[in-house]
Structure 1
Amino acid sequence: MRILEEDRTVKVGNYEFGGDKPLVIAGPCSVENRDQIIDIAKKAREKGAHLLRGGVFKPRTSPYDFQGIGIEALTYMVEAKQITGMPIVTELMDLAHLDYFLEHVDVIQIGSRNMYNYPLLKALGEIDKPVLLKRGFSATIKEWICSAEYIAKGGNTQIILCERGIRSFDSYTRNMLDLTAVPIMKKETGLPVIVDPSHGTGRRELVGIMSKAALAAGADGLIIEAHTHPDLSVSDKEQTIGIEELGQIIHQMTAL
């Protein structure tokens, strides 16, 4: 049973997910400092990116990996938005920060690990704010749909779904990017669906080609990890592309 009776779009500022044109969300895996995120935002905007992403809180498998710099990072993202006009997307992990996110964040992201955090999803169902719901790395299509329904059941149907790859037996890529999920989820939910080729592959050299494949599959947009100095990124540098390549992907997308 579809979440919505009719296909819908999700508006974020002047942009519309699920409309006639695919959108690109771009930025670093993690906000490292003020100068870094503002510089990336300016250059990503110049290349045609529409929304700015950046990790404020970083859920990591290892407790010894960089965990993000927290609310301080969000203040830098807000400043980057003021300078560039780019709406901001970042991940919420704790309901204690929800009020602050409601005030400052344009799209609240729920990451792969929190797709099953049902109390968090229920709370997001009661707000008037777009939610970007990533697929869990071991989630079936049905489980992903049910997570979206937790949000929609509360009244918030401003949901953008994100295919970001699922765990498989092959370790050549970080995950297996399941592009069949794009037409399936659009059909089964009526919601816009975007693709994350960065997490979906974990390999910088595959981001561009899988971006084109995602758009060919009908994706309503892309979320891409991009950095002015990708080799110096404090997290996920193997899958982070440079700003010039980001511009090439957006140019190709526009041509398509």
Structure 2
Amino acid sequence: MIIVLKPEATETDAKEILNQIESVNLKPLYMPGTERIVLGALGDERVLHNLNIAAHPMVENVKPILSTYKQVSREMQSHDTQVNFGRNTIGGGTFTVIAGPCAVESKEQMFKSAEIVKKYGAVGIRGGAFKPRTSPYSFQGLEEEGLKILKETSAEYGLPCVTEIIDAGHVEMMESYVDAFQIGARNMQNFKLLKAVGQSQKPTILKRGMSATIEELLLAAEYIYNEGNKNVIICERGIRTYEKATRNTLDLNAVAYIKTKSHLPVIVDPSHGTGIRELVAPMAKAAVACGADGVIVEVHYNPQIALSDGQQSLDENHFAKLMSELNPFVQAAGKVLV
């Protein structure tokens, strides 16, 4: 339920109502605005109804939240959420480019790749230290050693870093190494991991599962948000369909739809979405046009020797071309490339 208080309502009035909500084991939410205070109550709406909150003299109106995903919905918050990533902000009129190799392979590889992504305007670097792979024989990542290399790269080039977290038990260990967590497609419904990341305040990029519906994706975001972490970024990275021409089908419908239904920032991963190097740039431009707040792309200084996803990674020339061609699309969309 959303409870809108009258303009003259005070913080004391709000606390009185919040205490009533909490007394029946519902989750109270306090959302002070510029003009009036808005409260929320999450839980069994029948219990809330019995409280008769609408009769309180300082309550203007009470309305149900119809979405299954309550806190991340536009019903709960109409304005866009902005998430800090290093010195930059994702969402709220900016367009952010995060780039880097699929996997952390060595210090030399990360430094050379970071030099490229910084040179052409990316504001963050990505790189997987833990690599959950379909085949047990594929490169699985350098694990904590990879995190150390990623942190060193981040410090050397002044780029905030993001990497995938695959285990709920890794949260505390990884917090000191990275600026943001990424929850990969395979773990989108790993609810223990979602809750663990939710108990951290670390910005989290949540990737859509390969067969997940939009509602399931937003409910996964709700898990993180409900644990107290409001720094959630949705990532569309393609879904599995019957089409075999590309690695996945990049669902840009989802970006436009989510922007109407949720206040969270949305970025796009055209590298995994297509799996084809030549398609990354056109789909990144399309991501701008449909309302995305940024892209996360794979860039390797030499994709031919990459241990993971070389076929979809951009080299220096491809990345330079992407960045030079992207800005006119960003400007046309009324955003600023940061």
Q: Same fold (TM over 0.5)?
A: yes
Structure 2 counterparts to residues 168-179 of structure 1, below 5 A: 168-179=241-252
Question: What is the alpha-carbon distance in structure 2 between the residues aligned to residue 140 and residue 57 of structure 1?
Answer: 26
Q: Read off the aligned partner of 2:151 and give its amino acid letter.
A: V
Q: 1:72: Cα distance to partner?
A: 0.3
Tell me, in whole angstroms, the C-alpha distance in 1 between the residues paired with 2:261 and 2:171: 29
TM-score between both structures, scaled by the size of structure 2: 0.74
For 1:252, the aligned partner's letter is: E
Once the 2 structures are TM-superposed, how far is the Cα of residue 96 of structure 1 from its aligned partner? Answer: 2.4
Distance 1:119 1:171 in 2: 33
Deviates more, 1:213-222 or 1:243-252: 243-252
Partner of 1:165: 238
Q: Which runs of 5+ in 2 are unaligned?
A: 1-66, 330-338
Q: CA deviation at 1:243?
A: 1.8
Residue 97 of structure 1 corresponds to which residue in structure 2? 170
2:60 aligned residue: none
Is residue 5 of structure 1 aligned with residue 5 of structure 2?
Answer: no
Q: Is the contact between residue 116 and residue 147 of structure 1 (CA under 8 Å) also seen in structure 2?
A: yes
**TM-score normalised to the size of structure 1?**
0.97
Cα root mean square deviation, aligned: 1.0
Q: Match for residue 129 of structure 1?
A: 202
Pairing 1:4-153 to 2, within 5 Å after superposition:
4-6=76-78, 7-153=80-226
Match of 1:234 among 307, 312, 315: 307
Report the equivalent of 2:42: none
Partner SS for 1:22: strand
- Match of 2:297? 224
Cα deviation, 1:76-101, whole Å, max 9, x if unaligned, reads 11111111100000000112221121
Count of residue correspondences: 256
Q: C-alpha distance in 2, partners of 1:43/1:100?
A: 29
Counterpart contact for 1:38–1:77, Cα < 8 Å: no
Q: Letter of the 2:167 partner, please give it.
A: D
Quote the Cα distance in structure 2 between the aligned partners of 1:193 and 1:206: 20
Q: Which amino acid aligns with 1:161?
A: I
CA separation in 1, counterparts of 2:137 and 2:102? 17
- C-alpha deviation, 1:202, in angstroms: 0.5
Amino acid at match of 1:5: Q
Unaligned segments of structure 1, at least 5 residues: none
Amino acid at match of 1:154: E
Residue 265 of structure 2 corresponds to which residue in structure 1? 192
2 CA distance for matches of 1:65 and 1:252?
34
- Structure 1: distance between partners of 2:169 and 2:230: 22
Farther off after superposition, 137-146 or 94-103: 94-103
Paired AA for residue 151 in structure 1:
I
SS in 2 for 1:227: coil
Instruction: Specify which structure has the bigger relative contact order, considering alpha-carbon pairs within 8 angstroms and separated by 6 or more residues.
Output: 1
| In 2: Cα distance, 1:116 partner to 1:95 partner | 13
Q: Which has the larger radius of gyration?
A: 2
**Kept in 1: contact 2:168–2:197 (CA 8 A):** no
Instruction: Give the C-alpha shift of residue 166 in structure 1.
Output: 0.1
How many percent identity over aligned positions?
47
Cα separation, 1, equivalents of 2:111 and 2:291: 31
For 1:15 and 1:252, locate their aligned partners in 2 and report how far apart those are by CA, in whole Å. Answer: 21
Post-superposition CA distance 1:30-54 (Å, at most 9, x none): 1111111011111210111110000
Change in Cα spacing, 1:19 to 1:253, as seen in structure 2 (3 Å) is farther
